[in-house]
Structure 1
Amino acid sequence: MTDGRDETPAPAASAASGPATAETPTATPAPDPDADFARIALGYPAEPIAPLPVRQPPGPATRFDAWWRAKMSEPRWSLLWTWGGPGLVMLVAVVTRLVALSQPHALVFDETYYAKDAWSLLHLGYEGSWSDGDDARFLAGDTDVYTDVPSFVAHPPLGKWVIALGLMAFGAQDAIGWRISVAIVGILLVALTMAVARGLFHSRVITVLSGGLLAIDGNAIVMSRVALLDIVLALFCLLGVGAMLLDRRWARRRLEGWVIRRELGHRHTDWGPSLWWRPWMLAAAVAFGAASAVKWSGIWFLAILAIWSVVMDALDRRRAGVAFWPTSAALKQAPVSFLLLVPLAAAVHLASWTGWFVTDDGYDRHWIESGGGERWTGALSWVPTAFQNWYHYQASMYGFHVGESTPHSYQANPLTWLFLVRPTSMYYQESDGGASAAAITEIANPLIWWACTAALGFLVWRFIRTRDGAVGVLLVAIAAGYLPWMGYLHRTVFQFYTIVFEPFLVIGLAVALAHLLGRWNDPPGRRRVGFATVGTFLVLAVVLSAYWFPMWIGLPMPREFIYSHYWLRSWL
């Protein structure tokens, strides 16, 4: 186990043993350069220079390290650890996200919007209108009480189409119909988090820790069990980041090829090449476009990761010896990357509105024709009326988001998100005259969450100290999911929005834990302290997740047990 990449130590050099004899002198005199010169001048070979002694690398720090390395040297055990560890994590993710998924049979929190919108979207192609009393009828199985009158919606339709896939498969007679798609997305998020961690740090320890921490954390569990949009947004953003990481490798290989051709005398310029064929960047464009088609905040990942890509292109070109590497990246490659990313992402976003375009009754579908506004004139007069109507609809949605400041009892200022000050109560239903209740509260595992916040400081310190590119990627992704909300401190927002950047937080925590764990050949005392610290943390994290699990899945519990979970007054 290491705190970074999987390593195999260099084999120890063999050393002669036994007492010194006349045949095995105790010391070898240093060679005389002048004598060697004389021998060579006379035609004799020079005396061989005695090799410098090879320093013996330190052995395993503890018996466990020795046993572990012996097992990992066997292919079957190494394969078991490579696939068995992530496999166990995935089993935990499946159980925590699917057990009792249909309970409670209720429209939890904003499911009252998204589940019903998904159902009408599935049947109309756009979101129809529902009456105030339709929740009870929908839950009773009377699902076709929507009208074809269009409803103004605050978010693009792709996330609701994902929810609709579950409704297509299971119907709306049971809550599993509108939750199953989101649960599957939550399971995939755990798998993809491990894949990104493995790609960044090449460490099986960090890979398993990252997935395991996300699999048992309450924020990720709750958001995988209620039909909201944020877990879908998180998956597409993580897919986009993963694709950008693969694009970096692809671009570096192409740049290395350019360097080789230059060294062989092929024609080249001091500006370096323009890399047009970047398939992983195209894949990232699709992912980020899909993210923005779930919630507009996905655009920030596209913008910030695109800037990161330009910076990395510049650094790669400097290493490759491109003379004008800053201007090469900014003026030659950046426009190409823009053309690869932005138009395709915009096309994906626009395609998510297909149902609105191919039907006639969507909200503002005929805004201009009905006298609501005027057609564009001048240079934009050629734009189709349908697109002009759609643009007006988007402007209305943007105005709603910017101005949304209606007070909510569970709103959470973004400045407090990292400290878990105000988690969201999604559901609460008392029974037995108030003696017991069922609750779904989006309280992250406090130990994991606060440790993530501390690990964020560690990541900043490590990046400043080492310029570790993998750590830099984590910081950039966290910034893309978190910092844009600093511009909307007046807006009504919630703690569960953090699910978008939580995968990167838990990877960062896994890196910090691996650092505490130490390396296999660290001093024994350092290694034992690492084992004790990390082991204690993980045991406590599992115990706390078991303690909170009923609060994450809505199991009926005694009222006193429920209130024992509110460690802070602000959690009530």
Structure 2
Amino acid sequence: MALAVEERRETVAAGAARDRFRWWGPVGVAVFAGVLRLWDLPYPNAFVFDETYYPKDAWSLLQQGYEAVWPDNANELILGVPQVIPLSQEGAFVAHPPLGKWAIAVGERFWGLHPFGWRIVVAVLGALSVLILARIGRRLFRSTLLGCVAALLLSVDGLQFVMSRVGLLDGVSAFFVLAAFGCLLVDRDRTRELLRAARAEGGRAGDELRLGGRPWRVAAGVLLGAACAVKWNGLQVLAVFTVLTLLWDRAGRRAAGAWRPWRSMLRRDLWPAALSMVGSALVVYVLSWSGWFASDGGYGRHWADGRAGLSPERTPLVDVPLPQVSMSWVPAPLRSLWHYHAQMYDFNTGLSSPHTYQSNPWSWLVQGRPVSMYWEQVPDGQRGCASADGCASQILALGTPFLWWTACFALAYVLYRWFFRRDWRSGAILAGVAGIYLPWFQYQHRTTFSFYMVLLVPFLCLAVTQMLGAMLGPAGCPPRRRRWGAAGAGLIVLAIVGCFAYFHPLYTAEVIPMSEWRDRMWFTSWI
């Protein structure tokens, strides 16, 4: 008996040690990513790309609950001598929902209208994304090592790094999408455990079992609603992830012995999924407009007052005039919000103004046209420049080239695994790609930018990690095979890390000689 107790204690101690490693490894990579992102965060002391919009909108939300019109010289006032900037009471039309700007406003609440204030929350979310991806990779591949590899790849991707250090919305949206994906993975595992336990008890568990409340799926819906409340591209991800969780339910019921898994899924899981995912997302989205509802000065806040319809001309989903139908039974604030959304839809789908750094989705995976978010030419003798040709200071939203080019091969491998081997892990990764990347191809006429793909980076890292895991080989393969696989996978990871280090000056606006800057312009389309 004493020997059995001692063995049990040793087993428990070994399990506790493994649990610590399951967290210490991911936390260590996340700390590394956080240090990278927070180091010298206030530099440059300037508005980087669309920071000229969102930090000011965030400050307006913090002060008035809605985005206001700013004076033409607002940028100079903000970056100059600190002073009180009078805000207009007039609401400004904005093209995106308010939640991402509320997130930026949290930093401004504590550090003011200053570059550190409007960047800190995005940087923290970027570092937390690394931690979440490590845990996702561990759950997906059943390996803490592979989870940490995926997180390391994310921490050294140039696009995710840049978008974590600027006060833009895309990094916030990427965090919510990735966290929702993680919640769905937890929900899948817990549902499978429930189905297996029910099957072990006998009966037709796969057909008859009601899965009850699923808090992790509700959490995923809440997070995807938050993503939609940052940018509307979260809507496509919500649709794809809802289908994904239903397909997982169907597969789980089949594994539990369901005679008709499709019918069982449709009868038992369809409506609960719609309510927990789409319903909770809708609630979160509407709540994100609370400041606008509570105000009197928000843009279009009182448009519906005295009107019975939704719009005098059209609805946001069709391009032809429709006869007016009285909608007076709908509260006026909701009709005003609907009309506001019609205008937002028109703007977002009709944006076609030429831009120097616009690009087509076909070029995004190979980083054909990265976006220059900040540029300054520094003369010789100033700010440490010691080059007769002068120096350059630039922030280039360029994904680490070796990582993205490796990901192109990894996506082909993942597609093979899903199509021919029915690997559910590959299907999960491809679902993220389908929800984030593919919808952009329908907007060939729209002005689009490659930095939209910051949402895709975690899924590219998972694809590369799955390919590296295949190179490493299964645990039972010959040692020689494992050594060669580990060497090959290690060289790929080192090459990606080295590539990130090489381009690091272009991610942080470091002042470098023009000759070094030209050396990093590998393609003319990057200039």
TM-score w.r.t. length of structure 1? 0.82
CA contact (8 A) 2:228 2:235 kept: yes
Which residue identity lines up with residue 105 of structure 2 in the other structure?
Answer: A
| Residue in structure 1 matched with residue 129 of structure 2 by the alignment | 189
Distance 1:464 1:453 in 2: 17
Matched position secondary structure for 1:150: coil
Matches within 5 A, 1:344-423: 344-369=280-305, 380-423=327-370
Contact 1:158–1:352 (Cα < 8 Å) also in 2:
yes
What SS is found at the alignment partner of 1:342?
A: helix
CA distance in 2, matches of 1:361, 1:535: 57
CA deviation after TM superposition for structure 1 residue 144, in Å: 1.6
The Cα of 1:521 is off from its aligned counterpart by 5.0
Gaps of 5+ in 1: 1-72
Give the corresponding residue for 1:323.
Answer: 259
Amino acid corresponding to residue 218 of structure 1 in structure 2: G
Task: Write out aligned runs for 1:444-523 (5 A).
Answer: 444-519=399-474, 521-523=476-478
Over residues 318-372 of structure 1, what are the superposed CA-to-partner deviations in whole Å (9 max), with x where a residue is unaligned? 2222233212212442122112222211010000000000010100001122779
1:263-322: CA deviations, max 9, x gaps?
A: 3xxxx7995244341111111111111010000111111111111122222222222222
Cα distance in 2, alignment partners of residues 307 and 410 from structure 1: 34
The question of whether the paired residues in 2 share the 8 Å contact of 1:96 and 1:216 is answered with no
State how 1:18-97 maps to structure 2 within 5 Å.
82-97=22-37
Shift of 1:163: 0.4
Separation in structure 2 between the aligned mates of residue 485 and residue 532 of structure 1, nearest angstrom: 37
1:165 correspondence with 2:106: yes
Asked whether the equivalents of residues 310 and 338 of structure 2 are also in contact (C-alpha less than 8 Å), the reply is no
1:564 matched residue in structure 2: 519
Q: Give deviations 1:399-433, integer Å, cap 9, x for gaps.
A: 11111111111112111111110011000011216
In the alignment, structure 1 residue 131 sits paired with structure 2 residue 71: yes
Counterparts of 1:173-212 in structure 2, within 5 Å, are 174-212=114-152
* Contact 1:92–1:216 (8 Å) recurs in 2: no
Structure 2 contact 31–127 (Cα < 8 Å) conserved: no
C-alpha distance after superposition, 1:143-181 (max 9, x if no partner): 524312111000000000000000001112x31111111
The residue number in structure 2 matching 1:540 is 495
1:252 aligns with 2:199: no
In structure 1, what residue type is equivalent to 2:353?
T
The answer as to 2:507 corresponding to 1:552 is yes
Higher relative contact order (Cα pairs below 8 Å, separated by 6+ residues): 1
Q: Are 1:442 and 2:382 matched, yes or no?
A: no
Residues 315 and 97 of structure 1, relative CA distance in 2, 3 Å threshold: same
CA distance in 2, matches of 1:470, 1:427: 38
Offset at residue 204 of structure 1 (A) = 1.7
Structure 1 residue 374 displacement after superposition: 6.5
| Structure showing greater Rg | 1
Shift of residue 444 of structure 1?
1.3
1:321 and 1:81, CA in 2 relative to 1: closer, same or farther beyond 3 A? Answer: closer
- What amino acid maps onto 1:415 in structure 2? W
Q: Which amino acid aligns with 1:299?
A: L
Determine if contact 1:105/1:139 at 8 Å carries over to the other structure: yes
Counterparts of 1:358 and 1:452, CA distance in 2: 46
CA deviation after TM superposition for structure 1 residue 218, in Å = 0.6
1:262 positional shift: 5.0
**In the alignment, is the contact (CA less than 8 A) between 2:357 and 2:371 conserved in 1?**
yes
- Matched residue, 2:215: 279
In structure 1, the residue matched to 2:319 is none
User: 2:270, 2:15 → 1: CA distance?
Assistant: 44
Q: Secondary structure of the equivalent of 1:419? A: coil
Report if aligned partners of 1:128, 1:151 keep a CA contact under 8 Å in 2: yes
Secondary structure at 1:410 match in 2:
coil
Matched, 1:100 2:55: no
Q: Structure 1's 126 and 521: CA in aligned 2 closer, same or farther, altered over 3 A?
A: same
Cα distance change, pair 428–483 in 1 and its aligned pair in 2 (3 A): same
Aligned with residue 232 of structure 2, among 290, 296, 302? 296
Give the number of aligned pairs.
495
Residue ranges of structure 2 left out of the alignment (5+ in a row):
1-12, 313-323, 381-388
Q: 2: CA distance between counterparts of 1:337 and 1:254?
A: 17
Seq. identity, %: 38
Partner SS state of residue 90, structure 2: strand
1:272 and 1:317 in contact (8 A); partners too = no
Distance in 1, Cα, partners of 2:225 & 2:175:
12
2:422 maps to a residue whose letter is R
Q: Which amino acid aligns with 1:336?
A: P
Deviations 1:375-420, CA, capped at 9 Å, x for gaps: 8986843210011001110111011111111111111211111111
1:213 and 1:543 map into 2 onto residues whose CA distance is 11
Distance 1:392 1:80, change over 3 A: closer
* Equivalent position of 1:341 in the other structure: 277
How far is the alpha carbon of 1:247 from its aligned partner? 1.6
SS at 2:188's partner residue? helix
CA–CA distance in 1 between the matches of 2:120 and 2:486?
Answer: 38
Closer, same or farther in 2 for the Cα pair 1:522/1:343, shift >3 Å? Answer: closer
> 220, 225, 232: which is aligned to 2:160?
220
Residue in structure 2 matched with residue 21 of structure 1 by the alignment: none
User: Structure 1 residues 237 and 98 mapped into 2: Cα distance closer, same or farther (>3 Å)?
Assistant: same
Q: Distance in 1 between matches of 2:46 and 2:86?
A: 17
Structure 2 vs 1, CA of residues 320 and 520 (structure 1 numbering), >3 Å: closer, same or farther? Answer: closer
| Distance in 1 (alpha carbons) for counterparts of 2:499 and 2:277 | 42
Moved more, 201-210 or 318-327: 318-327
Letter aligned with residue 148 of structure 1: Q
Aligned equivalent of 2:85: 144
Between 413-422 and 337-346, report the one with greater CA deviation: 337-346
Q: What is the CA–CA distance in structure 2 between the aligned matches of 1:347 and 1:146, rounded to whole Å?
A: 30
Residue 137 of structure 1 contacts residue 143 of structure 1 at CA under 8 Å; is this kept in 2?
no
- Choose 439-448 or 337-346, whichever is displaced more: 337-346
Q: Aligned pair in 2 of structure 1 residues 436, 386: CA closer, same or farther (>3 Å)? A: same
Distance 1:248 1:105, change over 3 A: same
CA distance 1:318–1:372, shift in 2 (3 Å)? closer
3-state SS, counterpart of residue 438 of structure 1: strand
Given that residues 206 and 253 in structure 2 are in contact (C-alpha distance below 8 angstroms), is that contact kept between their aligned partners in structure 1?
A: no
Q: Residue 437 and residue 467 in structure 1: after superposition, are their counterparts in 2 closer, same or farther (change >3 A)? A: same
- CA separation in 1, counterparts of 2:464 and 2:207? 40
Residue pair 1:166, 1:181 contacting (<8 A) in 2 also: yes
The amino acid of 1:390's aligned partner reads: L
Q: Is this contact kept in 2: 1:451–1:509, CA < 8 A?
A: yes
Q: Report if the CA contact (8 A) 1:423-1:443 is conserved.
A: yes
Q: Deviations over 1:77-112 (max 9, x none)?
A: 857754443343123201210111010000000000
Give, in angstroms, the shift of residue 124 of structure 1: 0.9
Against the structure 1 CA distance between its residues 540 and 360, is the aligned structure 2 distance closer, same or farther, given a 3 Å change threshold? Answer: same
Q: CA deviation at 1:249?
A: 2.3
